[in-house]
Amino acid sequence: MSAHPRLRVAALASGRGSNLQALIDARDAGALPVDFVLVASDKPHAPALRRAEEAGIATLALDPKSYANRAAYDADLFSRIAAAKPDLIVLAGFMRILDAAAIAPWRGRMLNIHPSLLPKYPGLRTHARALEARDREHGASVHFVTDELDGGPVIAQVRIETRGDDTPESLAARLLPREHELLVATLAWVAERRIALTAEGIVFDGALLAAPLDLDDRRQRVR
């Protein structure tokens, strides 16, 4: 059992919430020492909100169309998130570009999962872009959030091989369960206080990472 207090986590999601569900399931199984204090969405009818409600987690839905601009929306959203007093924010399929001023106070305390081997393919259509480039492998990354789109320091990745008959849909479907594993594992490391972002870079178990952790090779690569 961890000697640390359970990590208080807020999650943001825009869609079906499969990554969120993976986190909830891991928590319920005792594999993830966190307490979810809030799940917020920019889509009032997002299935992710229903998943949170079924799990007894407080929810928040804010419609961006009700705000003058992105900065106003993000300022209100993150003010409400802060009121829930999370230690960490997890973007689990949150499909909005975030205002730099709103996320600045959360540096080192906000994670995002992205379906590519960053720095390859930030943004959208990652599976199609990997196939168009004839990449032999594809994957997912968990990174700290900065004001650069999908450009924050990468903590960990998982890789899968592409196949000659892959479509963007089949590649996405094969990657998704590995995404879930990656997000759960990375959040568990953070909850156990094994990972931190410093001025020098990402520290894992007290050593500076030379490259992102590989989910399938737990040996740390440090410099």
Catalytic residues: 114
- Alpha-helical segments (H) within the chain: 18-28, 47-54, 70-83, 100-103, 126-132, 168-191
Distance CA 203, CA 197 (A): 6
Handedness of CA 163, 167, 170, 175 (dihedral sign): positive
CA neighbor of 182 nearest in space, from 136, 216, 206: 216
Q: Which residues contact 87 (CB under 8 A, 6 or more apart)?
A: 7, 8, 9, 109
**DSSP secondary structure string, 59-113?**
EEE--GGGSSSHHHHHHHHHHHHHHT--SEEEESS--SPPPHHHHGGGTTSEEEE
